[in-house]
């Protein structure tokens, strides 16, 4: 892949993922760099002349905003500020997470409203391109800018603190030296410019959108397999009623499920006897589609943010003004992710109910718990405890947390969103749902095999084949936790979806 050119504008979730997960390098658009330089020049001028009080430049920050900072202390003051903001604690971000944070922060810097020294801006792209990933703690932010965490990136850039480099944790100075990069000396406001950003929460949010895209697709796939295992009635897959209730998301799920099931025995006449299946099965496209609609809202809100400046103050160099503002307030997208948590508890419970129905002879005509013929096999009885307990975890984690903040800094900092924690708990939900969907597919595969159904959908057939490579038919009892682990890995790596999609494209 050629480097991703960043200009502060057209960044998307997909592009961030390229950089974060696939190691794509970045380049800075020259015209964006021009804005960076004009901002910085304006700030320098003001810093020298002291013509205006600028928050965090010649004043303290937070409750200390009433303190004046003399120009001769800029260097020391800004280094101190970085150190004083190093208040994050474990766990630490993965390399993927660090890269997402760096690219998100870099793009917002390129909006040219920060006044950060151009060299420092460029160092963000150097870190990305040289694989220097600062040790970045994930906890400690109240999510009204992640100042306690972003400081650790700044720390590395001045050659202090640690980084992850070539798979090892080393001193930042060492890694930079090896790559021919010089530690930076901070100028006026650079400390504040480094820490005052929601890039931790936003980076995690972007990764979540990507994970959720995959998760909902996987849910559609699991549902399609369930339909074949269940011998489900296909009438809810009829496109006509969708014309009379035109939501985007449900239609997208419908089309994907229909594609996956193209050619399946389910479409043969007189296959299904039931007039209507249980709601969890009948409503799946609507439920998954509701999540798609909600996710589009989340994507839209976060994509506006990552193409914006969330700095305060905002440097309007065109008008030679430095304007205090509240562009750092992330509520607009945090709300969308709180909603996604609740949405996921519906996805989870619906998948759980589908899977419970699949184990019931009343609905399937197959043996209880999908046992093979031998009556001595317990099969999928006890595993219900596992996926239902995970569903309870999902429900627990889906409770909101963003508004549970306290008033800090002598009441100057009386807003909060707990943004990184919102993303982390939503991430934990995603991981639990991945296991639940893996178990649903194990059930569906067992039922399909018990039915000896051979004529499967184009997509489902391919996914089933991939699953069966790692999780064979259950002919007698075995340690199912190993099967769950194997199937979950296939879900997380996207193998099943990939194989299904390849089949559709053939």
The least distance separating a copy of itself from the CB of residue 286, rounded to whole angstroms, comes to: 4
CA atoms within 13 A on the CB side of 235: 11
Binding of a copy of itself by 327 (CB under 8 A): yes
Site for a copy of itself in 269-308 (CB under 8 A): 275-276, 278-280, 282-283, 285-287, 289-290, 293-294, 297, 301, 304-305, 308
Q: Is 373 in the site for a copy of itself (CB under 8 A)?
A: no
Interaction between residue 78 and a copy of itself (CB under 8 A): no
- Binders in 379-408 for a copy of itself, by CB under 8 A: 379, 381-386, 388-393, 395-396, 398-408
d(CA 145, CA 327): 10
148 vs 264 by CB, closer to a copy of itself: 148
CA–CA separation, 419 and 310 (whole Å):
14
37 is a site residue for a copy of itself (CB under 8 A)? no
Q: Does residue 368 touch a copy of itself according to CB under 8 A? A: yes
Residue with Cβ nearer a copy of itself (144 or 449) = 144
Token pair belonging to 398? 């889906």
Binds a copy of itself by CB under 8 A, chosen from 64, 177, 320, 469:
64
Among 323, 365, 455, 472, binds a copy of itself (CB under 8 A): 323
The answer to whether 238 contacts a copy of itself (rule: CB under 8 A) is: yes
139 contributes a contact to a copy of itself by CB under 8 A: yes
- The sign of the torsion formed by the CA atoms of 12, 331, 324, 83 equals negative
Distances (CA, A) of 73 to 52, 230, 299: 17, 72, 42
For residues 374 and 459, the answer to whether their CB atoms sit within 8 Å is no
Minimal CA–CA distance to 356: which of 383, 326, 394, 323? Answer: 383
CB 128, min distance to a copy of itself, A: 23
142 binds a copy of itself (CB under 8 A): yes
Residue 21 binds a copy of itself, judged by CB under 8 A: no
Site string for a copy of itself, 342-361 (x = CB under 8 A): xx-xx--xx-xx--xx-xx-
**Minimum CB distance to a copy of itself, residue 129 (Å):** 26
Least distance in angstroms from the C-beta of 472 to a copy of itself: 15
Spatial separation of the C-alpha atoms in residues 210 and 221, rounded to whole Å: 17
Nearer CB in complex with a copy of itself: 41/52: 52
Residue in 153, 480, 490, 496 binding a copy of itself, rule: CB under 8 A:
480
CB of 191 to a copy of itself, least distance (A): 10
Residue 410: CB atoms within 10 A of its CB come to 10
What is the DSSP secondary-structure string of 218-243?
Answer: HHHHHHHHHHHHHT---GGG-SHHHH
The answer to whether the peptide bond before residue 59 is cis (omega within 30 degrees of 0) is no
Q: Is 201 among the residues that bind a copy of itself (CB under 8 A)? A: no
Using DSSP bridges, classify how beta strands 89-92 and 132-134 pair: parallel, antiparallel or unpaired. unpaired
CB-based contacts of 493, cutoff 8 Å, min separation 6:
none
Contact residue for a copy of itself among 110, 123, 219, 435 (CB under 8 A): 435
Tokens 């960043």 correspond to what residue?
A: 6
| Nearer CB in complex with a copy of itself: 243/506 | 243
**From candidates 21, 38, 65, 179, binder to a copy of itself by CB under 8 A:** 65
How many residues of this chain interact with a copy of itself, rule: CB under 8 A?
153
Q: What is the DSSP string of 242-265?
A: HHTS--HHHHHHHHHHHHHTTT-G
The answer to whether residue 124 forms part of the interface with a copy of itself (CB under 8 A) is no
Q: Which stretch binds a copy of itself (CB under 8 A): 220-228, 337-345, 447-455, 464-472?
A: 337-345
* 74-91: burial string, b at 16+ Cβ within 10 Å, e else: beebbbebbbebbebeee
Q: Are 181 and 159 in contact (CB under 8 A)?
A: no
| Two tokens, residue 316 | 């309007």
- Minimum distance from residue 177 beta carbon to a copy of itself (Å): 21
User: Least distance in Å: CB of 462 to a copy of itself?
Assistant: 26
CB 65 within 8 A of CB 409: no
């Amino acid at each position: 892949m050629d480097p991703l050119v960043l200009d502060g504008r057209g960044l998307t979730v997909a592009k961030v993922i390229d950089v974060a997960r696939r190691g794509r390098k970045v380049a800075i658009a020259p015209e964006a760099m021009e804005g960076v330089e004009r901002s910085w020049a304006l700030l320098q001028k003001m810093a020298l002349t002291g013509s205006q009080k600028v928050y965090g430049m010649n004043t303290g920050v937070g409750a200390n905003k009433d303190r004046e900072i003399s120009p001769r202390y800029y260097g020391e003051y800004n280094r101190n500020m970085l150190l004083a903001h190093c208040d994050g604690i474990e766990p630490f971000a993965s390399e993927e997470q660090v890269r997402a944070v760096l690219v998100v922060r870099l793009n917002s810097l390129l909006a040219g409203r920060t006044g950060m020294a151009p060299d420092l801006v460029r160092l963000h792209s150097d870190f990305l391109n040289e694989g220097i990933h600062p040790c970045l703690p994930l906890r400690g932010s109240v999510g009204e800018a992640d100042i306690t965490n972003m400081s650790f990136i700044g720390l590395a850039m001045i050659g202090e603190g640690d980084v992850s480099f070539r798979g090892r944790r080393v001193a930042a100075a060492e890694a930079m030296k090896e790559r021919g990069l010089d530690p930076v000396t901070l100028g006026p406001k650079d400390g504040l410019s480094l820490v005052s950003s929601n890039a931790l929460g936003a980076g995690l949010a972007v990764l979540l959108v990507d994970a959720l895209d995959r998760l909902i697709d996987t849910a559609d796939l699991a549902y399609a397999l369930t339909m074949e295992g269940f011998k489900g009635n296909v009438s809810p897959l009829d496109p006509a009623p969708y014309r009379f209730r035109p939501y985007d998301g449900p239609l997208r799920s419908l089309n994907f499920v229909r594609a996956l099931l193209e050619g399946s025995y389910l479409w043969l006449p007189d296959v299904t006897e039931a007039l209507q299946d249980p709601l969890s099965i009948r409503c799946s496209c609507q439920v998954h589609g509701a999540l798609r609609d909600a996710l589009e809202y989340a994507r839209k809100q976060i994509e506006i943010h990552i193409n914006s400046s969330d700095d305060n103050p905002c440097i309007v160099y065109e008008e030679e003004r430095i304007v205090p503002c509240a562009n750092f307030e992330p509520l607009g997208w945090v709300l969308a992710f709180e909603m996604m948590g609740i949405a996921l508890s519906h996805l989870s419970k619906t998948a759980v109910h589908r899977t419970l129905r699949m184990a019931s002879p009343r609905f399937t005509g197959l043996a209880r718990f999908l046992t093979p013929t031998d009556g001595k096999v317990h099969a999928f009885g006890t595993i219900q405890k596992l996926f239902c307990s995970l569903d309870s975890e999902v429900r627990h984690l889906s409770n909101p947390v963003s508004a549970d903040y306290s008033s800090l800094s002598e009441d100057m900092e009386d807003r909060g969103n707990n943004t990184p924690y919102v993303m982390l708990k939503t991430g934990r939900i995603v991981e639990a749902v991945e296991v639940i969907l893996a178990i649903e597919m194990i059930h569906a595969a067992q039922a399909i095999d018990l039915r000896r159904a051979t004529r499967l959908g184009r997509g489902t057939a391919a996914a089933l084949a991939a699953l069966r490579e790692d999780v064979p038919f259950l002919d007698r009892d075995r340690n199912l936790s190993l099967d769950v682990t194997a199937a979950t890995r296939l879900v997380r790596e996207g193998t099943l979806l990939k194989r299904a999609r390849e089949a559709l494209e053939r």
